[in-house]
Amino acid sequence: MARQDFQGREDAGKKKDGVARRNQSDTENTIGDFLSKDSNISTRETPITAPNGSIYSDSSYCGIMAKVMFFICFIFALVGMAANAMVLWLLGFRLHRNAFSVYILNLAMADFLFLCFQFIFYLLILINIFYYTISIHILLFFTVVSIFAYFCGLSILSAISIERCLSVMWPIWYRCQRPRHTSAVTCALLWALSLLLTFLDSKACGLLVSSSDMFWCQTFDFIMISWSVALFVALCGSSLTLLVRIVCGSQRIPVTRLYVIIVLTVLFFLIFGLPLGICSVLYKWIWNLYNLKICDFYYVTLFLSCVNSCANPIIYFFVGSIRHHRFQQKSLKLFLQRALQDTPEEEADGERVSSGEPEELDTV
């Protein structure tokens, strides 16, 4: 193992290379790859590399847990891709967009990208188990793209909560002074920033290239973690402020479906999406965790992150279907359209009675 090589070497020139290779080796271990460390081992008996660097056999607890979790994640990723693809199709081609539907469109795109590359990752894992060994570099590439999508999803969700909080706290300023294309510009900047940080961090840590730089790897790790913490604080702070303002505010704010979507989406992320980020941070910075047998916890966080990305489109359609008893041919379109309308239920019902169908969303 790279860590053992590092501890055994006393030469100063080789020690730096040993640290860099240890960082890459630990990163490879944390993704739960199924690659064999011994070329004499059959591919049908490929051991599982645990987070603490141990090799577990197929019959061990961690090995069985990993296979079960990867298979379940494979199914959830497939279902989630279909659901998010439906949201992308409806918001991208069938419905006009308003300020918040642009955010929902980009969030669905991030969820779809995350699930898509997770699906390919799990497919390669299954191929690696039953057929032949997959190169670690291929698995690392899909892992890097998944990190990028996860990071971008967190950024967009924070932007949704912050902008909604601003619209409630300062409604006059928000309606009169907000630039028309703020949502699109914000999402584009968040995509670009997430891509840049993920690329620089992965390149410095040796996930995209064979070489690595320990100093820059730790530097970009610190930057990404700091930015993630800032996004998390902004997400929780704005969501809590929004909730308190609605429930305890002096002036009653009518609760619309959009409020419900934001609250449920943030809640699901905190429960299902956040553990993966916390687990990744702990594995990167707290080396003592590698001495613990927590491989099953890491696999569970992968599963929970897939559940989070899969649940978001279900939330949209579920909230839009509340009090909608008629099932029509284009019901999914109507459900999504109703879910993103920022009008009280009574007002929306009056408009629907007069027009015969839900009002189209205002174009951004």
CA dist 152 and 154 (Å) reads 5
Q: What 3-state class would DSSP assign to 97?
A: coil
Angle, helix 12-30 to helix 214-248, in steps of 10 degrees: 40
pLDDT at residue number 266: 94
Model-level pTM?
A: 0.79
List the structure tokens of 123.
């497919």
What value does the mean pLDDT take over residues 74-98? 91
Q: What is the mean pLDDT of the chain?
A: 76
Q: What 3-state class would DSSP assign to 254?
A: coil
CA dist 97 and 333 (Å) reads 13
CA dist 176 and 158 (Å) reads 23
pLDDT at residue number 60: 66
CA 21 from centroid of its chain's CA atoms = 27
Comparison of pLDDT for 13 and 75, the residue scoring more: 75
pLDDT band at 324 (very low <50, low <70, confident <90, very high): low
Angle, helix 182-204 to helix 99-130, in steps of 10 degrees: 30
pLDDT band at 295 (very low <50, low <70, confident <90, very high): low
CA 314 from centroid of its chain's CA atoms = 16
pLDDT at residue number 153: 95
CA dist 101 and 136 (Å) reads 38
Q: What 3-state class would DSSP assign to 245?
A: helix
Please determine, looking at this structure, whether the domain spanning 61-345 carries the CATH number 2.60.120.1140. no
CA dist 246 and 240 (Å) reads 10
CA dist 44 and 132 (Å) reads 8
CA dist 166 and 162 (Å) reads 6
Q: What 3-state class would DSSP assign to 100?
A: helix
pLDDT in tens, 170-224: 888 888 888 888 999 999 999 999 999 999 988 888 877 777 788 888 898 899 9
Look at residues 177, 171, 66 and name the one whose alpha carbon lies nearest to residue 129.
66
Look at residues 359, 280, 276, 264 and name the one whose alpha carbon lies nearest to residue 317.
264
pLDDT in tens, 4-53: 443 444 444 444 444 444 444 444 444 433 333 333 323 333 444 444 33
